[in-house]
C-alpha cells in the first residue's frame, strides 16, 4: 500500500531551480535511496519531506493525509541531518531522549528507550558522555539513535554515515538495514555512495539536476540503466559506439567493432547509431586471439578481492574487473583477448547517452 507520496515536488531558490519535478510513491516499510552527485537536489528534497523547506510546487502525503503545509514537529518523522547537529550542552542520553521528552514519554520508559537506541547503534555505555567527547563516527551514530528513539513511521537520513570509516560504514549499512526491516520504518536515505544505496535500498532513485532520472530495484538500476549518466553514476562502465544493422521482434544485431552482437532491441531502429555499455566485471580476459576483440594491457591494479585492468583495444580503453581467484592476470604490455556475453551489453540511443 502506498504510504508516502511525493507529487510533482519542485523547489526554486530565486531564479535557481534546485528540485525540478519529483514524483514518487513509496510503500509502507519501504527503503528508498535518493542517489546522485553533489548539488543535484537530494537534501532539498529530503528537507521538503521533513517540512524544513517549503515546496514551490507539488504535494506531499503520508498515509492518505496531505502534509505539505504541516510544520516539521507535527510530521513525526525521525531525521538525521547531513550535519547531524547534536545539542552540545546535552549528554548523549539527553540528546537521544530529547524527542521523547517533547512527546512526554515518562522518565522510566525514556530511560529504557534511550538504552535500546544506544544498543541499536552499538554505543551502549556512552550515554553519559557529551558530543565533544565522541569521535565523528560515534556522533553520527548518536544522531541515528536520536532519530530512531521516537519510533517514527518515517525515517529520513541525509548522508548519515559519511564520517564513518569504510569498515564500520559497511557494517552499519547491514545493521541499519536490519533495524529498518525489523521496525518496519518507511525510510528515505540521501547518499552519493553507490555501495550504500545498493546495500540498503528496496529501490534507488538516481537523481541528476533536480530530477529523478531512474527509479528501480538496486539490480534494475545497476543492470538496466536508462542513460549514460545513470550507468556511470551507479558503478563503473565501459562505453563504445555501435550501430543497429537489423532487428527482429526479440533482438537486434549491433555492429560493435568487427563483431556483430545480438542484443535485446528495446525499440532501437535500424540504421541508428547507438552507444553500447558494458560493466567491467562482465568482460573477461582470454588468451589473445580467442576473445571478441584483442588488446594490450595498459594498467593492472590489485584491489584485494579483484583485479582491475585497463586494456587498449579497437573499441577504446576497456576497463576489466576480474575476481581474484588466486591466479595473476596478464601484466602491463601483454597482449590479451577480451570476451563478453552479448546479453550483458546495454544499448542506448545516442541521445539517452547525454541524459
Ligand X SMILES: Nc1ncnc2c1ncn2[C@@H]1O[C@H](COP(=O)(O)OP(=O)(O)OP(=O)(O)O)[C@@H](O)[C@H]1O
Residues 76-95 that bind Mg ion (CB under 5 A): 82
Helix (H, G, I), strand (E, B), or coil: what is residue 190? strand
Chain length of the chain: 355
| For ligand X, the closer CB: 39 or 331 | 39
Helix (H, G, I), strand (E, B), or coil: what is residue 202? coil
By the rule CB under 6 A, 39 interacts with ligand X: yes
| For ligand X, the closer CB: 209 or 264 | 209
Candidates 35-43, 98-106, 307-315, 332-340; binding stretch for ligand X (CB under 6 A): 35-43
List 33, 42, 49, 120, residue binding ligand X (CB under 6 A): 42
| For ligand X, the closer CB: 47 or 227 | 47
Query: Up-side HSE of residue 170: CA atoms within 13 Å toward CB?
Result: 2
Build a one-symbol-per-residue string for 178-217: x at contacts with ligand X by CB under 6 A, - elsewhere. Answer: --------------x-------------------------
What distance in Å separates the CA atoms of residue 204 and residue 226, rounded to the nearest whole number? 13
By the rule CB under 6 A, 40 interacts with ligand X: yes
What distance in Å separates the CA atoms of residue 147 and residue 155, rounded to the nearest whole number? 7
Q: How far is the CB of 39 from ligand X (least distance, A)?
A: 4
By the rule CB under 6 A, 28 interacts with ligand X: no
Build a one-symbol-per-residue string for 38-57: x at contacts with Mg ion by CB under 5 A, - elsewhere. Answer: -----x--------------
Within the chain, strands assigned E span 2-13, 16-27, 31-35, 57-62, 65-66, 77-80, 154-158, 186-191, 203-208, 211-216, 238-247, 251-256, 259-264, 273-278, 284-286, 293-302, 306-313, 316-323, 335-339, 346-349
Q: Which single residue is written with the C-alpha cell 521528552?
A: 101
Q: Give the binding-site size for ligand X (rule: CB under 6 A).
A: 13
Cβ proximity of 86 and 142 under 8 Å: yes
How is residue 118 written as a grid cell? 544506544
List 8, 13, 273, 316, residue binding ligand X (CB under 6 A): 13
| For ligand X, the closer CB: 210 or 337 | 210
By the rule CB under 6 A, 41 interacts with ligand X: yes
Q: How far is the CB of 41 from Mg ion (least distance, A)?
A: 9
Helix (H, G, I), strand (E, B), or coil: what is residue 32? strand
Build a one-symbol-per-residue string for 81-100: x at contacts with ligand X by CB under 6 A, - elsewhere. Answer: -x------------------
| For Mg ion, the closer CB: 120 or 213 | 213
Element (H, E) at 267: none
Candidates 32-40, 67-75, 90-98, 277-285; binding stretch for ligand X (CB under 6 A): 32-40
In the β-sheet with 203-208, what is the strand arrangement from edge to edge?
77-80, 154-158, 186-191, 31-35, 203-208, 211-216
Q: How far is the CB of 45 from ligand X (least distance, A)?
A: 7
Alpha-carbon distances, residue 243 vs 80, 125, 164, 346 (angstroms): 47, 63, 45, 13
Q: How far is the CB of 46 from ligand X (least distance, A)?
A: 8
Candidates 74-82, 280-288, 299-307, 344-352; binding stretch for Mg ion (CB under 5 A): 74-82
Alpha-carbon distances, residue 138 vs 118, 124, 144, 159 (angstroms): 11, 11, 10, 14
By the rule CB under 6 A, 280 interacts with ligand X: no
Q: What is the DSSP letter of 224?
A: S
Q: Which residues bind ligand X (CB under 6 A)?
A: 13, 16, 18, 36, 38-44, 82, 192
Q: Which residues bind Mg ion (CB under 5 A)?
A: 43, 82
Amino acid at each position: 500500500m502506498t504510504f508516502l507520496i511525493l507529487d510533482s515536488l519542485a523547489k526554486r531558490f530565486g531564479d535557481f531551480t534546485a528540485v525540478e519535478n519529483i514524483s514518487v510513491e513509496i510503500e509502507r516499510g519501504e527503503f528508498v535511496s535518493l542517489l546522485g552527485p553533489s548539488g543535484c537536489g537530494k537534501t532539498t528534497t529530503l528537507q521538503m519531506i521533513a517540512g524544513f523547506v517549503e515546496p514551490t510546487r507539488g504535494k506531499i502525503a503520508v498515509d492518505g493525509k496531505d502534509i505539505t503545509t504541516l510544520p516539521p514537529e507535527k510530521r513525526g518523522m525521525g531525521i538525521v541531518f547531513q550535519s547531524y547537529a547534536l545539542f552540545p550542552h546535552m549528554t548523549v542520553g539527553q540528546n537521544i531522549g530529547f524527542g521523547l521528552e517533547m512527546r512526554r514519554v515518562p522518565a522510566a520508559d525514556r530511560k529504557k528507550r534511550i538504552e535500546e537506541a544506544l544498543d541499536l547503534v552499538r554505543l551502549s555505555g556512552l550515554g553519559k558522555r557529551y558530543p565533544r567527547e565522541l569521535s565523528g563516527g560515534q556522533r553520527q551514530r548518536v544522531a541515528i539513535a536520536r532519530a530512531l528513539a521516537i519510533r517514527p513511521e518515517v525515517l529520513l537520513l541525509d548522508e548519515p554515515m559519511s564520517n564513518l570509516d569504510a569498515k564500520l560504514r559497511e557494517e552499519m549499512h547491514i545493521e541499519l538495514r536490519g533495524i529498518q526491516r525489523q521496525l518496519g520504518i518507511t525510510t528515505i536515505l540521501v547518499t552519493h555512495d553507490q555501495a550504500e544505496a545498493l546495500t540498503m535500498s528496496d529501490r534507488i532513485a538516481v537523481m541528476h539536476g533536480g530530477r529523478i532520472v531512474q527509479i528501480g530495484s538496486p539490480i534494475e538500476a545497476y543492470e538496466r540503466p536508462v542513460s549514460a549518466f545513470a550507468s556511470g553514476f551507479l558503478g563503473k562502465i565501459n562505453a563504445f559506439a555501435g550501430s543497429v544493422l537489423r532487428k527482429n521482434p526479440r533482438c537486434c544485431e549491433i555492429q560493435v567493432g568487427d563483431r556483430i552482437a545480438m542484443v535485446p532491441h528495446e525499440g532501437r531502429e535500424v540504421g541508428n547509431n547507438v552507444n553500447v555499455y558494458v560493466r567491467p566485471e562482465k568482460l573477461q580476459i582470454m588468451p589473445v586471439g580467442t576473445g571478441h576483440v584483442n588488446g594490450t594491457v595498459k594498467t593492472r591494479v590489485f584491489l584485494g578481492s579483484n583485479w582491475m585492468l585497463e586494456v587498449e583495444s579497437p573499441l577504446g580503453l576497456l576497463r576489466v574487473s576480474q575476481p581474484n581467484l588466486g591466479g595473476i592476470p596478464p601484466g602491463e604490455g601483454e597482449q590479451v583477448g577480451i570476451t563478453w556475453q552479448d546479453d550483458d551489453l546495454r544499448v542506448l540511443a545516442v541521445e539517452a547517452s547525454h541524459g
